[in-house]
Amino acid sequence: MAFKLYYWDGIPGRGEFVRLAFEEAGVDYLDVARQPGGTDAMLRMMKDAGEATVPFAPPFLVDGELVISHVANILFYLGPRLGLAPEEEDLRYVANGLQLTITDCVAEVHDTHHPIGVSLYYEEQRLEAEKRTANFLSERLPKYLGHFERVLTENPEGREHSVGGQLSYVDLSLFQLVEGLRYAFPNAMGACEDQVPTLIALHDAVAARPRIRSYLASDRRLPFNESCVFRHYPELDRQA
């Protein structure tokens, strides 16, 4: 039975971190909301699932009777099953910690364009968004990118991967993080990428992997847009 991924249709968003793992592993999966009636089915499931398993929000994964929510939690579960996690148990927790740090960064990216409330339109909080973004680009973004650069350069198994000596879901997620940041803040990223060459090399290596390259060229790969976590508003972007 194929894995079932539940996420909003029409946006890559947080669901893309899970899709990349499926695509790299070459396994069958069902992107439920992209099927006819899929979004309604997702909403019904969020309403009708048992109290112990009801997810707060997508993305969530269904594997048989098991319901797993949150990107890092989903990837922690999928990683060993897809061959995308370290074999050593200790390193699996390291990988999970890195994925949670990516989650933190994505949340801060979201808050650049919605710093006041998710129920408000961007235009209703634009001034606050400009202030929040200025702080993110000048202080937070360099810290996040610098941390991932350090993780790669200090990996005792080599700079090609973030954890251990083999590709993991963390490497795929770092690829997607760089992709999203380039879309949202092309000027700021263009000004700071020279400072994180190992991270950019990892991004390029992931993009060149046969299954990922094929996926990126397919219609399964949803484009970034202004309904996504990563949004490009020119007035928010500037050189760091």
Tell me which H or E stretch contains 4.
Answer: strand 3-6
Quote the pLDDT of residue 162: 98
Quote the pLDDT of residue 37: 92
Give per-residue pLDDT as tens, 155-199: 999 999 999 999 999 999 999 999 999 999 999 999 999 999 999
- Residues above pLDDT 90, as percent of the chain: 89
65 vs 16, more confident: 16
In the sheet that holds 60-63, the strands lie side by side as 29-31, 3-6, 60-63, 66-69
Q: Return mean pLDDT, the chain.
A: 94
**Residue 193 CA: distances (Å) to CA of 97, 178, 184, 209:** 23, 10, 14, 21
Confidence tier at 240 by pLDDT (50, 70, 90): very low
Quote the pLDDT of residue 51: 58
**Residue 137 CA: distances (Å) to CA of 112, 129, 203:** 9, 12, 20
Question: Is the confidence at residue 100, as pLDDT, over 50?
Answer: yes
List the CATH code of the domain at 89-216: 1.20.1050.10
Say how many CA atoms lie within 13 Å of 227 toward its Cβ: 7
- Mean pLDDT, residues 93-110 taken together: 98
Question: Is the confidence at residue 52, as pLDDT, over 80?
Answer: no
Confidence tier at 50 by pLDDT (50, 70, 90): low
* Domain chopping of the chain, boundaries: 3-82, 89-216
Question: Is the confidence at residue 75, as pLDDT, over 50?
Answer: yes
**Domain 3-82 classification at class level:** alpha beta
In angstroms, rounded to a whole number, what is the distance separating the alpha carbons of residues 210 and 228? Answer: 26
Question: Is the confidence at residue 131, as pLDDT, over 80?
Answer: yes
Question: Is the confidence at residue 239, as pLDDT, over 50?
Answer: no
- Mean pLDDT, residues 210-229 taken together: 97
Residues constituting the chain: 240
Quote the pLDDT of residue 46: 83
